[in-house]
Every structure is written in structure tokens, then in C-alpha cells.
Amino acid sequence: MYLGEPHEHKDFPTTYNPLPYNGFVTIPKAVGQRRQFAEAVAEVAEQLRPNVVRIQHEFGDDWTGEPSVFFMVILSDAASRRDRLLTIANEVSTALVQQIAPLEEWGVLPYFSFRSQSEQAKLEPSVA
């Protein structure tokens, strides 16, 4: 069936822009206030010692294009043991979500990755 040339219809325009440009760009609070976000993350990391060596984070978009924060949590080798890893990972992610509220307060979806201190040392000897 041939539909002919595209044409405008009052209910079905040929162009669709779900987010009309209004001259303003919206960025998440976490991106605009990076230092304050980093300070909040550092406070949580300090509370979680000695299990947590440090928490690094990076901003970006997730696979759907949503603004996100990607946490890399470096755990002590003791906390990374197989029999403790799940419990510690849950404690860390829960603490970050409850105390920082990345989505509610900062406008970014949180994602978590965990690595042991010895694993990190093998990957970046000068950093760990």
C-alpha cells in the first residue's frame, strides 16, 4: 500500500520532539556540585572503614542515556573474601544510597562495582 508523500496532520506531526529545546540545559546536581558530592562520598567511605579502602566515582550516562554515577568500591582483602563479599557489598551500596541519595538528592542513578585491594594493586600498582 502506497501512502504517498509525508504530510502534516494536526494530530500526528511528521516531526516529533519529546523534549522541546527551551534555551536551557539541565544537568544533574551531582555534576554541577562535584566537590560536594565527592565530600559526601568520602564521608560514607570513612564510616565504612576498615572494610572499604576507598570509593571512586565517575559520572556518565547509563545504557538508556540516563545521568548516572558509577561507583568503584575498593574493599580490603579481608572484606573481599568469598564468605563476606555479598554482605559487605550490600552494606556499602545501602549506605551510599541511604546517606547520599544519589537519585533523589543529586539526580543520578547509582551503579556499583567492587574490587579487592590486591586486585586493584595488580591493575594499577602506583594507585592502590
- Domain positions in the chain are 29-123
CA dist 25 → 22, 28, 42, 127 (Å): 8, 10, 29, 36
29-123 CATH = 3.30.70.1350
Residue 63's CB is within 10 A of a number of other CB atoms, namely 6
Q: What percent of the chain has pLDDT over 70?
A: 79
Q: Which three cell numbers stand for residue 30?
A: 551531582
pTM for the predicted model, two decimal places: 0.78
Higher pLDDT, 126 or 101: 101
Whether the predicted pLDDT of 14 surpasses 60: no
Beta strands in the chain (DSSP E): 52-61, 67-75, 109-116
Whether the predicted pLDDT of 6 surpasses 60: no
Instruction: Average the pLDDT over 9-21 and give the result.
Output: 50
pLDDT reported for residue 125? 63
Whether the predicted pLDDT of 36 surpasses 70: yes
Q: Lowest-confidence range among 9-13, 46-50, 51-55, 122-126?
A: 9-13
